[in-house]
Amino acid sequence: MAAGTSRVFLSHLSGVRVFDPNGDQVGRVRDVIVMLRVGGRPPRVPGLVVEVASRRRIFLPITRVTGVESGQVITTGVVNMQRFEQRPTETLVIGELLDQRVTLVDTGEEVTVLDVSMVRLPARRDWEIDKVFVRRGRGRGLRRELEGRVGLAWRGAGGRRGETLTVEWSAVTGFSLDEHAQGAEALLATFDQLRPADLAGVLHHLSAKRRAEVAAALDDDRLADVLEELPDDDQVEILGKLKEERAADVLEAMDPDDAADLLAELPEPVQERLLGLMEPHEAADMRRLLSYEERTAGGLMTTEPIVLRPDATVADALARVRNPDLSAALAAQVYVCRPPDETPTGKYLGTVHFQRLLRDPPFTLVSSLLDNDLEPLHPDTPLPAVTSFLATYNMVAVPVVDEGGSLLGAVTVDDVLDHLLPEDWRETELHGVAGDE
């Protein structure tokens, strides 16, 4: 969302038009999805329900919303048109939360929910609910006011309007999940702050049944991060128990090289079905990676390094490096190429290292800072040669180019380590908390 957007009251999004970056209308916001959590902790906001042509409702991940301003929502332009299906762990704000009767923790007084607001968490792309706008007494509620815009059939009790106030989410009770009825959610609440590798350790030690329940309760991005840390057998098992539409979404959320490795473990007919459900540009990356031998630079590389054009500045490069979704290895350097600047790019010109970016003025062109002393790797370079290159030159990532000099991707040191360690290293070294069944 827009950098200046600090808080958004969710009822204000109802009926708002959604546009792609070119200004073409995608649809209108019909609801906002939240995931309630046990223990009174603020819910996460995974995305929006958007109504497109023919009154079809689709899921728009919040990570693909780049701005909310002047009564409109702007997306990245990449929208999955699969029909939205609400999952058991999801709650609709307008359809289910508004007009709920909840209790103020301090006074025990019952109040009516008129609205809730969300904020973005610092240094992360996650959003969560932080405030609740309530009315004392038994007022009409906001859903009647929204009825004309969203088509709700409101059946609230009438009554005089009472005093309104805005409180923290933690100041009310009555929203939280029933911990006894939500086994997977309660388990996730316990391990919510774990790193993906540690949560993967938890899942690895659970029974197959409980592992599937927890995977179903995780949002796509979190599940993608966890799958990348699991042994191959666990990855295949979990993906196989998801609906194919969701499995494709999770694969899209994974790092391309990890997703390709997982696809390679699946039977070819399953591969093709999942690739057919993915966004065309994502599927193209997967097919390209699947075409290389596993233990080569092409099979190891990611197709999403930081690529800049020669006329980009140091300020542009640092803005890209600050992306919290990048691994430390990928953020350590940027690759300068002629257009097009998505892999496979135009001619690769050279690399600029992060430390060099810190030493030069923001207005400096990256094309004047190139390190092109080291030859990039070709996609058929075998793993031992990739390892030797990284070790010899103390690099954490290395570019991969084709015969025509176009950048295909980059191999990072963590990708190499995955293939140097014993095949069962994830199973023997996982250090999460053991499961309960």
In the chain, residues under CATH classification 3.10.580.10 are 307-420
* Contact in structure between 239 and 254 (CB atoms under 8 Å): no
Give CA–CA dist 426/276, Å, rounded. 30
pLDDT at 121: 76
pLDDT at 378: 96
What is the CATH architecture of 307-420? Roll (3.10)
pLDDT at 232: 87
| 222-238 tens-digit pLDDT | 899 999 989 888 999 99
Q: Which residue type sits at 317?
A: A
CA nearest to 259, candidates 276, 274, 273, 245: 274
Spell out, as residue ranges, where the chain has pLDDT lower than 70.
Answer: 1-6, 38-40, 70, 123-125, 138-161, 176-193, 423-437
pLDDT at 414: 87
Match domain 183-291 to its CATH number in 1.25.60.10, 3.30.360.10, 1.10.1740.10, 3.30.530.20.
1.25.60.10
CA nearest to 259, candidates 236, 241, 276: 236
Angle at 312 between CA 306 and CA 314, to 5 degrees: 80
pLDDT at 384: 93
pLDDT at 247: 93
| Alpha carbon 187 to its chain's center | 21
Helices 196-204 & 220-227 angle (0-180, nearest 10): 80
What is the CATH architecture of 8-93? Roll (2.30)
Q: Is 139 left (phi over 0), alpha (psi -120 to 50) or beta?
A: beta
In the chain, residues under CATH classification 2.30.30.240 are 8-93
